[in-house]
Amino acid sequence: MIKLKVEWDNKSLRFVQVRYTDVLGKFLARYLSMPADIEGFFRDGIGLDGSSVRGFAHIDDSDLLLLPDRTTARTVPVSKHRMIGTVIADVYKGFAQGRLNTDPRYASHRMQGILKRKICSVSLDRKLNALSWMT
């Protein structure tokens, strides 16, 4: 956490890209000016209109919240003297209603939990690009 704070306190960092995935797994992003309160940004997240994302929410229930996952925060150079912060967010229903069931990251987290409970281990071999299951 200290490394993240030092890294994001860089004076050349002016924007943050908050990334999330739609139902089909495509990365989408919201861009915002560098928050003055970085800790508040990670604690409170930012709002999202879920009806504008295919498969996320109906217009009458579209208040969503993007909560950045601190472990995915990185800085990315966009030019010789400019950097942006980038972070992947989890999608929550508005008004403290919990995680959004159609968020692919949430589906992945749930599946990992199921596999852990069943005492299975899943690993991805990057060379073969295949799943191997061990019980």
- Which residues of the chain have a pLDDT value below 70? 1-12, 55, 57-58, 60-61, 119-135
What is the C-alpha separation between 2 and 70, in angstroms, rounded?
11
Tell me whether residue 132 is in a domain.
no
Structural domain range at position 69: 2-100
Inside any domain, residue 59: yes
Q: Classify residue 130: in a domain, yes or no.
A: no
CATH code assigned at 22: 3.10.20.70
Q: Give pLDDT, residue 87.
A: 92
What pLDDT, on a 0 to 100 scale, did the predictor assign at position 6? 42
Rounded-to-integer distance, Cα 16 and Cα 40, Å: 14
Alpha helices in the chain (DSSP H): 2-8, 38-44, 104-117
The length of the chain, given as a count of residues: 135
In a domain, 134, yes or no: no
How far is residue 66 from each of residues 7, 51, 57, 132, measured CA to CA in Å? 21, 14, 14, 32
* Closest to 106 in 3D by CA, of 16, 23, 47, 28: 23
> Is 93 domain-assigned?
yes
Tokens of 10: 């860089």
Q: Is residue 36 included in any domain, yes or no? A: yes
In a domain, 128, yes or no: no
Residue 122 falls inside a structural domain: no
Query: How many independent structural domains does the chain possess?
Result: 1
> Per the confidence metrics, is the pTM higher than 0.75?
no
